[in-house]
Amino acid sequence: MAEPTALLPNIIWHTLSGPHAHLSSGTPHARRYSTGFSSLVAFADKDHPDFDALLPYCEEGEHFYVDGWSGPAPQGWQIDADKAMYKMVWHGELPAEDAAPLARRLGPQDAQQAFDLAALTKPGPFGLRTIELGEYFGLFDGERLMAMAGERLQAGTLREISGVCTHPDYRGRGLTHQLMLKLLQRQQARGQTSFLHVMTDNHVAHEMYLRMGFRDYLESVVRVVSRS
């Protein structure tokens, strides 16, 4: 039997060509999320990506995140950012009770607030419809969104925790820690393998995830590209 993490090195492709195929567009070799969901693209062969296959599905001015590819920019494309990130898999222990009983499941009425919070705090690529990709929970001060965390990529038993962020006015209260534990509880109850991505230069977040029980699985290149 294959390890649960076997799909993780090319998890974006396995998501876009599998469970989220109906939320994406492309070919048997290259796919992207539909506009509004997330600016991720992926390739069946991540070491030799077929950018030509992707061209008809991308507009000029759009920027996309590509995971695991480090070759030269192909004709018609440019590399706008070149960084690295950890893929981390959870191996910790969970509290017996709901870690965030006051959290509310985010819905269409919360999409703009979630988008605005992500634009302010920059947890990673986030679109107006990202909260439709899985369960997203938020903690509120009245009707003001203080913090959120949710789910994005999925394939096999793998389920990603993503969009983890707190408004600067509410930091230091452990809000995202509570929300992540809630998601971990729900994923473990479903028999899923929880994982996340974090940039290698985000030392504060990386250390927090290690303390929570996540472990580094691999380090990969992540690039932002656009049509030139």
Q: Is pLDDT at 96 greater than 80 in this prediction?
A: yes
Task: Report if pTM > 0.85.
Answer: yes
- Note whether 48 and 8 are same-domain residues: yes
Q: Cβ of 11: how many Cβ atoms within 10 Å?
A: 23
- Give the per-residue pLDDT at 54: 95
Residue 16 to residues 21, 63, 82, 212: CA-CA distances in angstroms?
5, 17, 22, 28
Residue 108 domain-assigned? yes
> What are the tens digits of pLDDT across the range 117-165?
999 999 999 999 999 999 999 999 999 999 999 999 999 999 999 999 9
Domain that holds residue 179: 88-218
Residue 224 domain-assigned? no
Distance CA 148, CA 140 (A): 9
Q: Is pLDDT at 1 greater than 70 in this prediction?
A: no
> What are the tens digits of pLDDT across the range 11-62?
999 999 999 999 999 999 999 999 999 999 999 999 999 999 999 999 988 9
Q: Are 199 and 67 in contact (CB under 8 A)?
A: no
Distance CA 136, CA 158 (A): 17
